[in-house]
Amino acid sequence: MGLFISANGRHAKAAFAARLLASAALPLLAGTFTLGVIPAVAQEAARSFNIPAQPLDAALNVFGRQSGLQVSLASSTSRGVTARPVSGSLTPQQALSQLLSGTGIPFRISNGTAIVGEAGGNAAVGGGGVAADGSIVLDTITIEGQGIGQGGVAETVIGPQQLERINPTDLADVFRDEPGVQVGSSLPASQKVYVNGIEETNLAVSIDGSRQNNKVFHHNATNVIDPALLRAVAVDAGVAPADAGPGALAGSIAYETKNAHDLLLDGKSIGALVSSTYNFNSNTVTTGLAAYGVHNGMEILGYLNFGKGDNFTAGNGDEVEGTETDLISGLGKVAYEFESGDRFELSHDRVLDDAPRPFRANAGFVDTGRPWEPKVRDYRLERQNTVFTYTDTTPEGWWDPKVVLAYGATDVTVPVFLRDGSTYDVTGMTSTFNGKVENKFALDMGSVTAGVDFYSDKARLHDLSEPGIEKARNIGLYAQARLEPWEKTRLSFGARADHQRFTGVDDSDFDNSGLSANISGEYDLTDYLTAKAGFSHVWAGIPLAENFIINPNWVYGPDGPEPVTANNYILGLEANYEGFTVEGSVFRTDINNARVPRYNQAAGGPLFAREVYSRGFEIGAGYDWLTGYVKVKYAHIDVDIDGHPADSDSGNYIATPVGNIITIVAAHTFADWGLTVGGDVEIAPEYDHVAVGYKPYPAYEIVNLFAEYKPEQMPNFTFRAEVQNLFDEEYSSRATYGQEFPNVTPLYEPGRSFLLSAKATF
């Protein structure tokens, strides 16, 4: 498993590696002269702080930016608490002590993280894991130093410690604990993410603040991401804030990659990381190399990940063709922060897959009646993302600006096989140039974020006989308030105004404008019980068509496609008492005029639209103790399209059947031994809410176990052993394409897989 590149096309691969090394490693080498061997300023060096009195969670968000530290905080700790003002040249320790003065809330700073709130005398480090010192890890991180996660009523944040516990090899692993987020396909190159059954191109998806526009080919992944590079992921299911960006029809997903501060050991100014994982199922070795440092405001990071292996074996004992591993991906970051607090960051990440895959990369085999098509073919998929970010780490009252400029692109090249035996290559490319300028205004009761954003997206098909291009440009104005107007009450509300110009393959232009609005809130019914509710109406303009079905002969008519809109609703309750958590919510998403173009003009062509409805509920319970935790979640999700049950073909770019999903997660740390053991279970009962004449989705039960050892004598080393799919189940994940179709053999997941990992940090 992992991300893939074949051994074919060595020259192309070498060129890619050269570009990747230049973007990810050379910034590190350039910074070496600056960093040298001079020790960095310790974490206790004085910095300039200016934090007005405000709700604790908002104050800690500002503290994280001004101190350069990550901040971990349990949501229940901040409720109804107002932080004291902080001003002057102080160490992070002094500033945080002043900020929490009089609240009675303890804290400590360790390994680049400010840990606020302690349990049983030991501070938690957030994210659903267990600290090496045996301390309890709280369930939810609501504050991150880089600002990911805004604490919305439908938000889930998967933080650094949770990612470390999961040790993900692909996006399916990243969302393993969340039944409401499903990932289809067992190959990263063809994995699509579904939130409450809605496919991710109907959400506002970003990487390091850069909008993603990756609707290239329905058999490929929408966003190929190497999880080894991820620092955190935030998902707003349904109701998303206005500042999440345009197009948040069914919510948002924000991916954030690692930075130097995340990897540096306590008190170090320069460091390195080496990691390696061996998967016995496919004889795959994945190796990560990173070097990073900070000094006098300068931050440098270079991270490369390589992998190579064979096809994996499914639970039925058969080798699954087209699943070999040959990986290369990377991340480069360079940042500088002036004494004034002005911080500039440039990041670039890139992933390439150039391996033989099943002919349709999200299905094992499809019987189309065309015997001249081989079972596998080469797919070349490359995604890149470049982001420039400016922030002020010492905001003063109403001055807290942020500027983002970004470029992203995804290219897919595949051979087309003709009846006479000849072939030719076709390339699809989506690209986006986007950005925003915003400011966060601090108020006594919270904050208001206001700004302007834009995007210029293109979907281009390079075909010798039928080339075509669609374009969309958008400019939006937005504002989002996050307030605590009175005790026990937290409100978030905002609005957007967007104007879009859509250009068809025939160069016809269509101008449309629309308004979006959202409101959500939480109210503490008692000290232990909180009620939540939210609503959003979203206007998203006209989405671009998939590259590979673009037809240069399309006729759009005088009015063009209708803009897509959506309404989202959520209601929930959450109870917390002495380590116990019980929660439940009901949701609904209605998408109107969902654009699903067809190549054939007679079948609807560029004007084809669908009505999509997703509704269901999620309940969960958990318990945290001093050195461990257990959590159980159950999600029920029904999706209908035009009044009929959704099918996985519609899931290519709209929505997919989900049904019932149960997850169980548990871990415990034996602090005296430096040993953590745990595992997770996913249960998917049979699901028969399918269209007439289609097969029900089969049931499956998956068990994964792990043990992680951090020897006291070698504190810089971590060793891990795990087994995935313990009982060797033959199955396809619920969101995988084609399970209900008689002419499709779905892409199976790997059978029982043993993995051994080792990591060393210096």
Tell me whether strands 204-207 and 251-257 are parallel, antiparallel or unpaired.
Answer: parallel
pLDDT tops 90 at residue 35:
no
| Pairing of β 113-116 and β 70-73 | parallel
pLDDT-based confidence at residue 112 (cuts at 50, 70, 90): low
List helix spans (H) across 197-273: 260-263
In contact, 659 and 637? CB cutoff 8 Å: yes
**pLDDT value at 2 more than 50:** no
Q: How confident is the model at residue 701 (pLDDT cuts 50, 70, 90)?
A: very high
Range with the lowest mean pLDDT among 62-71, 289-298, 569-578, 604-613?
62-71
DSSP states of 298-350 as a string? EEEEEEEEEEEE---BBTTS-B-TT--EEEEEEEEEEEEE-TTSEEEEEEEEE
Single-letter residue type at 547: N
* The pLDDT value given to residue 652: 84
Residue 3: is its pLDDT beyond 80? no
Per-domain residue ranges of the chain: 10-34+255-761
Query: Among 44-53, 198-207, 534-543, where is mean pLDDT lowest?
Result: 44-53
**Which residues are 498's β-sheet partners?**
476, 514
CATH T-level topology, domain 10-34+255-761: Maltoporin; Chain A (2.40.170)
Mean pLDDT, range 115-141, rounded to an integer: 40
DSSP 378-430: E-EEEEEEEEEEEEESS-BTTB-EEEEEEEEEEEEEEEEE-TTS-EEEEEEEE
The least confident of 76-80, 173-177, 533-537, 676-680 is: 76-80
CA distances, 751 to each of 276, 313, 370 (Å): 21, 6, 30
Q: What is the pLDDT of residue 578?
A: 84
Question: Among 133-137, 145-149, 260-264, whose mean pLDDT is lowest?
Answer: 133-137
- Give 341-360 pLDDT, tens digit per residue: 899 999 999 999 888 999 99
Residue 34 has pLDDT above 50, yes or no: no
Q: What is the mean pLDDT of residues 357-381?
A: 92
In the predicted structure, residue 330 carries a pLDDT above the cut 90? yes
Is 80 exceeded by the pLDDT of residue 199?
yes
- This prediction has a pTM of 0.84
Residue 160, pLDDT score: 85
The yes-or-no verdict on residue 123 having pLDDT over 80 is no
From the number of C-beta atoms within 10 Å of its C-beta (0-12, 13-18, 19+), residue 511 rates as exposed
Asked which of 20-34, 121-135, 499-513 is least confident by mean pLDDT, the reply is 121-135
